[in-house]
Amino acid sequence: MPVQSSAQAARAAAVPVIELMRRGQVFAADCPSRGVLNHVTSRWGTLVLVALLDGTLRFSELRRRIGGVSEKMLAQTLQALESDGFVQRMKYPVVPPHVDYRLTPMGQQVAVHVQTLVDWVETRLPDILQARDQQADATAQRS
């Protein structure tokens, strides 16, 4: 049985058991919330969610908007986000096929959080790149 820190024990004691049953346990190896986190925070998942914050888009519009994503990866990402309930796929019975994608209400909620993370990264990018350079220099000096 894993040993809990006093902070973990205090948090666990403060959360009612029924709430723990409703919530995921992200640090547990078999918790399904890890798969959801993977879908939401993957490179393409993050970009799809942020792109769809602007509204409904067709597959080709999403692909153009998200530079560098392959058709296969975009399709897989959209399927994963749809299965998690974050994206709604709307197919119209026309020729040629017309498919739109938009965020569900739950998708809107998670996309706002992801957008905050993206904004933070973009704002702090100079500091991040400087840290990378410093780390590379330090590694080179040790070699």
Question: CA-to-CA distance for 103 and 105, rounded, in angstroms?
Answer: 6
What string of pLDDT tens digits covers the 143 residues of the chain? 455 554 555 555 565 655 655 677 888 888 889 999 999 999 999 999 999 999 999 999 999 999 999 999 999 999 999 999 999 999 999 988 899 999 999 999 999 999 999 999 999 999 999 999 999 999 999 87
Per-residue H/E/C for 14-75: HCCHHHHHHCCCCCCCCCCHHHHHHHHHCHHHHHHHHHHCCCCEEHHHHHHHCCCCCHHHHH
Which tens digits make up the pLDDT trace of 6-22? 455 555 556 565 565 56
Which tens digits make up the pLDDT trace of 25-44? 888 888 889 999 999 999 99
Question: Whole-model pTM?
Answer: 0.80
Fold entry, domain 6-142: Arc Repressor Mutant, subunit A (1.10.10)
Chain-centre distance of CA 131, in angstroms? Answer: 24
Q: Domain extents for the chain?
A: 6-142
- The two tokens of residue 58 are 């067709």
Question: CA-to-CA distance for 46 and 79, rounded, in angstroms?
Answer: 14
Question: CA-to-CA distance for 114 and 44, rounded, in angstroms?
Answer: 12
Q: What letter does residue 5 receive in the DSSP assignment?
A: P
